[in-house]
Chain A
Amino acid sequence: MKLGDARSGKLRDNITGFGRALRRAGVPVDSSRIAMAIEAIELVGIERKDDLHAALRAVLVSRQQDLEVFDQLFDALFRNPELAQQLLAQMLPKVRQAEAPKRKARVQEALAAARAPKEGPRKESEIQLDAAMTASDQQRLRHADFATLNASEFRLIERLVRDVPLPLPPVRGRRTRAGVRGQRPHWAAAMQQARRFEGELLWLPKRARRPQALPLLVLVDVSGSMERYARLLLAFLHNATQGRPRAAFAFGTDLTDLRPAFRQRDTDHMLDMANAAIADFAGGTRLGASLATLRERHARTLVGRRTVVVLISDGLDTGEPDALNSEVLWLKRHCRQLLWLNPLLRFDGYAPLASGAKVLHEHADGMLAVHNLSRLEDLAQAMARLMQR
């Protein structure tokens, strides 16, 4: 692409086009940025391609993950505009056949209930979460759709969220506000008081530390044996922790980022997105490798050492126990508390014999049974109790 003379307006068009191309490729570029880019080009000149490149990059990109896209697009556009078109076409999401909007399971059930039922009642309409482990059930669950809650489950969750708030305790943050039992004097308030009483200070107002919600990191095992629990726990946690800082990841053979899904308000939407995102449903579990990925790519989701990590897994790990050990230790060192929710605890005389379970048992700050989701109250209370420590 020839840039042309800065005064002729050709440059302006080209930069604008480039900005739009970036936007189409998913890089957030607004028009003020494009205006600034034109200004920047006028400053550095167009004699050197590398300066042009650096200038545009400094102005138009603001995330490390976009740098690669920028570089490729820059090369393509300023060498061969046609190539750029192809490249863009590849980067754009494939146009999907418009599908008729699928009704959610709970809507479908609601509609179906109005008609006379032809068969017997569906097995799933009864809450039999505890019976997830028989062989035939496992087979069924493997093919169960993770994405939608059926009506009874939804009612369960709704009721639990209403009746069972998850009372995660706040901690005292570093920021302060006026308070009665603070440690530091609140001089500004003292001044106001002195102004009112002719320079007299009758008592000394204090600053107290402001309570702060603990950030939550949910790591959920989506291997075959965990699927059913994972779904309901995700739904519960998604609902019960609205409005506090949180992040969620799923792991099976690989780690999946569920944060975009968790940003949805509607729990069904969240499950939909999670379902689409998780590629390794009902595969094996490689807990160690997944935690390593978490450390390498997402270590910054752990806020200071304040984050409470909730690890939902049965500990039936197929990876290396040594690797798992060091990863769990790392995680424990970087969080405030590591809670392990384990469905296998329901069996009497359960002992953490599997290698993965042994490691988790050794390092987790607390271990809770999640086998009986209909009594989620107990879980919520136990979690809150553990975190209070």
Chain B
Amino acid sequence: MVEPVSGFATIDELTHALKGVGYHAPRQLATSVFLAMKLQRPLLLEGEPGVGKTELAKALSKVLARPMLRLQCYDGMEQREALYEWNHTAQLLHMRAAQDTVTADEIEREVYQPRYLIRRPLLQALQAPAPGAVLLIDEVDRADEPFEAFLLEYLGEYQVTIPELGTIKAEAAPITILTSNRTRDLNDAVKRRCLYQWMDYPERERELAIVQSQVPEAGPALTEQITQFVSRLRSMPFANAFQRSPGIAESVEWAKALVALDTLTLDPEVVQDTAGILFKQREDVAALIPLIDELLQPEPA
């Protein structure tokens, strides 16, 4: 395996570079990412939806100038959707065409050539030329257990085995990010191969910085109000009223919507009109409405 995966000598450098592309990583997260790159281990990110798990992979691909490959997991996903598949139609055509001129053995050798291979994200990531790719295995909790078992060889060794071609090992280890929303527990064997990072809702300053950099049009006053409102929503005792608290993604969306509505300050009416952006469930929107006034009050000093 060829050396360097990381262009960053220190955690600070990495944090700074991520900030440059609009990703504000807390120190703890940056340390995990730094280690994942140095130790060449996959990094498993768990946390509520909308806290920036997928965004991290995108940001890494930007700062490292590496291609990002994304495998979106779903229930019932099979190896051929994740790794590779033979282009059988092309193979059959080739067979028919070459049938009269060459022997059966030769045909067989010809049709199992890499050029008949349809490469899916995992294989593409392994074969990406140095310095390698950023591979995002998104929502791995949605795939089923057989798929997890299939991932083990890949996550442990950065290699896969294709019966007709042999074992393919990564030339440069891809930086691998797995994300999970914890709709179910992952297998311990998968976890053992990864570094682990739990991602929480952001602290207020961090969220402020994120909204500011993503929606600069909102202006400092409104941004401050938005982040204060959202962080109070997530804190006790309000959070208990909702089935799901809004994530960073929702705050950013909300800021964008408020800008589009030419809002300068939050008031109960505008919050009520745009509540559907913060909450995606009818019950949660209904639960928000009686709380709006209380949430909008200035914080006790």
Residues of A with Cβ closer than 8 Å to B? Answer: 28, 30, 32-33, 36, 39-40, 43-44, 50-51, 53-55, 57-59, 61-64, 67, 173-176, 187-188, 190-191, 194-195, 198-199, 201, 295, 299-301, 303-304, 326, 330
Query: Residues of B contacting A44 with CB < 8 Å?
Result: 11, 31, 34-35
Query: What are the 4 tightest A-B residue pairs by CB atom distance, in nearest-first order?
Result: A174-B76, A187-B88, A54-B31, A58-B32
B258 CB, min distance to chain A CBs, angstroms:
30
**Chain A CB within 8 A of B99 CB:** yes
Q: Which of A36, A54, A299, A304 contacts B28 (CB 8 A)?
A: A54
CA distance A304 to B283 in the complex (A): 21
Chain A nearest Cβ from B188, distance in angstroms: 7
Measured between alpha carbons, how far is A62 from B178 in the docked complex, in Å?
13
A80 to chain B, nearest CB (A): 23
Residue in A36, A51, A53, A64 whose CB lies within 8 Å of B11: A51
B contact residues around A175 at 8 Å (CB): 76, 78, 144, 146
List B180-226 residues whose CB lies under 8 Å from chain A.
182-185, 188, 191-192, 194-198
Q: Are A58 and B196 in contact (CB under 8 A)?
A: yes
Which B1-54 residues have C-beta < 8 A from chain A? 11, 27-29, 31-32, 34-36, 38-39, 41, 43-44, 46
Cβ of A201: which chain B residues have Cβ within 8 Å of it?
92
Contact A194 B95 (CB under 8 A): yes
A86 to B: closest C-beta gap in Å: 27
B289 contacts A by Cβ under 8 Å: no
Q: Are A173 and B91 in contact (CB under 8 A)?
A: no
Chain A residue at minimal CB-CB distance from B144: A175
The answer to whether B39 and A36 touch across the interface, beta carbons within 8 angstroms, is yes
Task: Tell me the total A-B contact number using a CB cutoff of 8 A.
Answer: 106
The distance from the CB of A204 to the nearest CB of chain B, in whole angstroms, is: 11
Greatest chain A CB density within 10 A among B95, B99, B141, B146 is at: B95
A28:B188 contact, CB within 8 angstroms: yes
A47 → chain B closest CB, angstroms: 11
| B191 cross-chain contacts in A, Cβ below 8 A | 62-63
Asked if residues A300 and B104 are in contact (CB atoms below 8 Å), the reply is no
| B146 & A190 in contact (Cβ 8 Å cutoff) | no
Which B residues from 58 to 78 make CB contacts under 8 A with A? 74-78
- Contact-residue size bin, chain B (C-beta under 8 Å from the other chain): 35 or more
Q: What are 8 A-B contacts defined by CB distance under 8 Å?
A: A54-B32, A57-B196, A58-B35, A175-B76, A187-B86, A188-B88, A199-B96, A304-B75
Q: Are A54 and B96 in contact (CB under 8 A)?
A: no
Whether A326 contacts B38 by the Cβ 8 Å rule is no
- CA distance in complex: A54, B96 (Å): 60
- List 13 extra interface pairs beyond A57-B196, A62-B188, CB under 8 A: A40-B35, A43-B35, A51-B31, A54-B29, A57-B28, A62-B44, A62-B191, A62-B192, A174-B77, A176-B78, A199-B92, A299-B183, A300-B182
The one of B27, B41, B185, B192 that contacts A300, using a Cβ cutoff of 8 Å: B185
Closest to B95 in A: A199
A301 proximity list for chain B (CB < 8 A): 184
Are A58 and B31 in contact, CB atoms less than 8 angstroms apart? yes
CA distance A295 to B86 in the complex (A): 43
Let me know if B243 is at the binding interface, CB within 8 A. Answer: yes
B31 contacts which of A30, A36, A55 (Cβ < 8 Å)?
A55
Contact of A191 among B27, B88, B141 (CB under 8 A): B88
